[in-house]
Chains A and B, each alone.
Chain A
Amino acid sequence: MGLVCSRNRRYRDSDPEENAQAAEIERRIESETKAEKHIQKLLLLGAGESGKSTIFKQIKLLFQTGFDEAELRSYTPVIFANVYQTIKVLHDGAKELAQNDLNSAKYVISDESKDIGEKLSEIGSRLDYPHLTKDLAKEIETLWEDAAIQETYARGNELQVPDCTKYFMENLQRLSDANYVPTKGDVLYARVRTTGVVEIQFSPVGENKRSGEVYRLFDVGGQRNERRKWIHLFEGVTAVIFCAAISEYDQTLFEDESKNRLMETKELFEWILKQPCFEKTSFMLFLNKFDIFEKKILNVPLNVCEWFKDYQPVSSGKQEIEHAYEFVKKKFEELYFQSSAPDRVDRVFKIYRTTALDQKVVKKTFKLVDETLRRRNLFEAGLL
């Protein structure tokens, strides 16, 4: 109120032209503030490598103009970096296992690949990586196919090997083509550790062009050092999209190898749920990386993770996958209700099974998220 009074006095004291100008500025600020109010703020949260940035890229592809050739090309150095870094991790990992593991013989790199390995490991430790030529691609392929490297890759969960490893290693010939332009798929697979905050604004106009909601989506880094920055975004959030990589139940954190990734996710989700600023915020839980989960679950028992230690497998094949998934989902549901104070249990909470790499799944999921949020808005406006 005091502010309004002082503004009025200021208008009276100055000349009419200035007054009109000031009024116009104020009108614009007001209309901008009003427009801002209609923008729904969405946060992508979750631990490191849970798939937040892949969802972010998918939204760009689905609801913005997508990636033009220049943007696709800008991913070439990222993809090459992924290739060089990964082959180095595998080579150095094999050497370490060959020295220290009980069953060390199978990690010894063959004589033919040894020199190639040393050379690639040196390249991987450089600041600037060379262009991926046909010759280099051939050498990387030779090393990748070495039995010791394959054995090491089988223990990738202990080595911080990115999910994109197999995909890029199997596409080396295409990647090393002189006219190579990354595809949409390559861009989605490309692994970039996010630092800081990135945002996009979009409107999910579907086939029936009905929605009209405007969303502002924020993507953040997920490692522990990044989380302190999240708090800058916590005010006025419509919905949190929390990504949990359910396939990572046998992996440890990039930033702390003494901590299981799902245990960290559990604690992180709990912490987010308890934030006072999220009292009325909707929660969309994306149980992500289902594609990896369904393959892994048949080989690695879910109960290797402390959180799931009471899990009992019941069968095999597809049934077992569903059973394990439902078990994990129930754990998250329980956690949600345990961590939400009684006055908060009526906030929207939805769980989705996602594979962030799958555009169809993300599109369908986001349509559901959009519908849920619009229904919630109508409900709050007293129209439902």
Chain B
Amino acid sequence: MGQALGIPDSGVLAQSEPISRIDPNEPLDKLLMNKKFRQSFMAFSDSCLAGESVHFFDEVHELSKISENDCVRRIYMARHIIEKYIVAGAAMEINISHRSKQEILSTSNLARADLFHNALNEIVQLMKTNLAKDYWSSMFFLKFQEECDMRCNGYELEQMTGWNYSPRLSSVHGTDDPFHQDHLLKNSECGNDTDS
């Protein structure tokens, strides 16, 4: 969406950030400001079917880069985030409270700077209490640190393959996007969702 809106420096792909080893004792929300770290944490979260939280964090971070004067862009981006992460049954619906969800859905001002504030707060807490600990003991983190060291020493990087050990899961390997499962839903009548 960042690209679609022509937002420069849209996060995941750009690699111009200074590279340094990160300190796990720093608050997670601060660490997630580091693109490389965010990318690694996202890959880990995707691997244990909890990636939507990090993707949401990423996109809200992109939204925060749009100038407050640029209302049109802010509204388009906000709408995109709502459709993708907030509405019931959304493709990557996040795990937030009814209150935070209603607050967003009933707003009269989509350009508001604090539109996703409470939702983001809940999601950061969810990541902190649920995913962070397992990330620190996963191969994703080890590989991330190794990459940092190699970059500092000026080595070329290889793609991250075969390094997907996670302390959370051994035998479930969902696709990168855990939500692409329409065919499965249809085949097993799981589309008959309980959501109402």
Q: Which residues from chain A sit less than 8 Å from chain B, CB to CB? A: 36, 74, 77-78, 81, 85, 125, 127-128, 160, 192-199, 201, 216, 218, 221, 223-229, 231-234, 252-259, 264, 267-268, 271, 274-277
Residue contact A78 to B129, C-beta cutoff 8 Å: yes
Interface string of B173-196 (1 = CB under 8 A from A): 010001101001100111011111
Q: Which residues of chain A are within 8 angstroms of B83 by Cβ–Cβ distance?
A: none
What are 5 contact pairs spanning A and B, CB under 8 A? Answer: A231-B181, A232-B172, A257-B98, A264-B194, A271-B193
Q: Produce 1/0 per residue, B6-43, CB < 8 A to A.
A: 00000000000000000000010100000000000000
Would A231 and B48 be within 8 Å (CB), given that A127-B27, A225-B94, A255-B95 are in contact? no
Chain B contacts for A223, CB-based, 8 A: 95
Measured CA separation A127–B98 after assembly (Å): 19
A181 to B195, CA, bound (A): 40
Contact A216 B171 (CB under 8 A): yes
Cross-chain contact B52 with A225 (CB below 8 angstroms): yes
Q: Please, which residues of chain A bring their CB within 8 A of the CB of B179?
A: 228
Closest chain B residue to A223 by CB distance?
B95
Nearest chain A residue, comparing its CB with the CB of B98: A257
B194 CB to closest chain A CB (Å) equals 5
Q: A125-B121, A196-B48 are in contact. Are A255 and B178 (CB under 8 A)?
A: no
Chain B residues whose C-beta falls within 8 Å of the C-beta of A274 in the assembled complex: 189, 192
Instruction: Write the nearest CB–CB distance from B182 to chain A, whole angstroms.
Output: 10
Please indicate the chain B residues that have their CB under 8 angstroms from the CB of A271 in the complex.
192-194
A349–chain B nearest beta-carbon distance, Å: 20
Please state if A195 and B50 are interface contacts (CB–CB under 8 Å): yes
Contact-residue bracket for chain B: 35 or more
Closest residue of chain B to A39, judged by CB? Answer: B171
Q: A160-B97, A224-B88, A232-B49 are in contact. Are A275 and B189 (CB under 8 A)?
A: yes
Contacts beyond the supplied A74-B133, A128-B29, A271-B193: 9 A-B pairs with Cβ under 8 Å: A81-B129, A127-B29, A197-B50, A198-B134, A225-B93, A226-B95, A255-B98, A271-B192, A274-B192
Partner of B170, one of A194, A196, A199, A224: A199
Whole-angstrom distance between the alpha carbons of A55 and B192 in the complex?
A: 28
Decide if the interface of chain B is mainly helix, strand, loop or mixed.
loop
Known: A224-B194, A255-B101. A231 touches B184 (CB 8 A): yes
**CA–CA, A127 and B124, complex, Å:** 7
A252 vs B126: C-alpha distance when bound (angstroms)? 20
Q: Is B64 located at the chain interface by the 8 A CB criterion?
A: no
A339 to B97, CA, bound (A): 30
Which of chain B's residues have a CB closer than 8 A to the CB of A36?
171
B100-140 CB contacts (< 8 Å) to partner A: 101, 121, 124-126, 128-131, 133-134
On chain A, the residues within 8 Å of B134 by CB distance are 198
Tell me, in angstroms, the Cα distance from A295 to B181 when the chains sit together: 43
Q: Which residues of B contact A (CB under 8 A)?
A: 27, 29, 45, 48-50, 52-53, 88, 93-99, 101, 121, 124-126, 128-131, 133-134, 168-172, 174, 178-179, 181, 184-185, 188-190, 192-196
B119 to chain A, nearest CB (A): 12
Q: How far is the CA of A195 from the CA of B49 in the complex (A)?
A: 8
User: What distance in Å separates the Cβ of B50 from its nearest Cβ neighbour in chain A?
Assistant: 3
Q: Chain B residues near A125: list those with CB within 8 A.
A: 121
Which of chain B's residues have a CB closer than 8 A to the CB of A252?
A: 98
Would you call B188 and A277 a contact (CB within 8 A)?
A: yes
Contact at B129–A77, with CB atoms within 8 Å? yes
Closest to A257 in B: B98
Q: Are A232 and B174 in contact (CB under 8 A)?
A: yes
A192 CA to B96 CA in the complex, in Å? 13
* Across-interface contacts of B174 in A (CB, < 8 A): 229, 232
> A229 with B27: in contact, given A195-B130, A199-B172 (CB under 8 Å)?
no
Q: Which residues of A contact B126 (CB under 8 A)?
A: 193, 195
Say whether A128 contacts B27, CB under 8 Å: yes
Q: For A193, A196, A255, A264, which residue has the most chain B Cβ atoms within 10 angstroms?
A: A196
Please give the distance in Å from B160's CB to the nearest CB on chain A.
20
Instruction: Report yes or no: B96 in contact with A255, Cβ–Cβ below 8 A.
Output: yes
Q: A-B pairs with the 8 shortest C-beta distances?
A: A196-B50, A225-B93, A196-B49, A257-B98, A195-B50, A196-B48, A229-B49, A267-B194
CB-CB < 8 A to A264: which residues of B?
194
User: Which residues of B have CB within 8 Å of A77?
Assistant: 128-129
Partner of B130, one of A160, A192, A234: A192
